């Protein structure tokens, strides 16, 4: 009797692991087209995407290589404005000033951040942002560009408080 329960327990664990491993991961190119820009600019390479923690809505973080000229296509299409003094804090948030207010936007919360995401290693990146809050609806976009490496991070979040 104990052996039967033991094998049932193991079977359930194996099934759970199988289902967990079969969950669909975001396709980087398709998500780039959907959330950033379609068509993808020619200089964009090595697209990475991670879905970050959000409860009511969605949030995605992208990393990619891009030339400065093509970066302007994203800036214009997403209504981004130049901001100064963006800091990525130790607790996984962007802190910056926008429209003369201080903002603290959590990117990962309790979730482990992607291995490829390290904005804290970039010295003085170019920063662009769009942020609105209307009736507890948040629309947030931030773009960081490392002009030395021609690499960018783009975070987009649409959520409800």
Report pLDDT for 27.
93
Q: d(Cα 91, Cα 103) in Å, to the nearest integer?
A: 14
- Summarised one tens digit per residue, pLDDT across range 75-125 is 999 999 999 888 888 778 888 887 788 888 888 877 888 999 999 888 889
What are the boundaries of each domain within the chain?
26-160
- Cα of 15 vs its chain's centroid, Å: 30
Helix (H) or strand (E) holding 150, with range, is none
Query: CB neighbours of 103 closer than 8 A, spacing ≥ 6?
Result: 94, 95, 96, 97, 131
Question: CA-to-CA distance for 59 and 159, rounded, in angstroms?
Answer: 8
Residue 8's CB is within 10 A of a number of other CB atoms, namely 10
The whole-model pTM stands at 0.81
**pLDDT of 6 above 90:** no
CA distance 10 to 117: 36
Residue 49 near residue 107, CB atoms below 8 Å: no
Q: Residue 136 — left, alpha, or beta (φ > 0 → left; ψ -120 to 50 → alpha)?
A: left
């Amino acid at each position: 009797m104990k052996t039967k329960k033991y094998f049932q327990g193991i079977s359930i664990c194996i099934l759970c692991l199988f289902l967990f491993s079969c969950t669909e991961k975001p396709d980087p190119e398709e998500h780039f087209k959907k959330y950033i820009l379609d068509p993808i600019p020619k200089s964009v390479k090595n697209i990475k995407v991670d879905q970050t923690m959000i409860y009511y809505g969605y949030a995605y973080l992208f990393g990619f290589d891009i030339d400065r000229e093509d970066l302007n296509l994203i800036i214009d299409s997403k209504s981004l404005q130049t901001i100064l003094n963006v800091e990525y804090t130790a607790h996984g948030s962007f802190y910056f000033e926008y429209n003369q207010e201080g903002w603290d936007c959590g990117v990962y919360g309790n979730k482990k951040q992607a291995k490829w995401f390290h904005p804290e290693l970039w010295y003085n990146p170019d920063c662009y942002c769009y942020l609105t809050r209307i009736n507890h609806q948040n629309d947030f976009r931030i773009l960081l560009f490392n002009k030395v490496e021609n690499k960018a991070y783009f975070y987009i979040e649409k959520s409800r408080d």
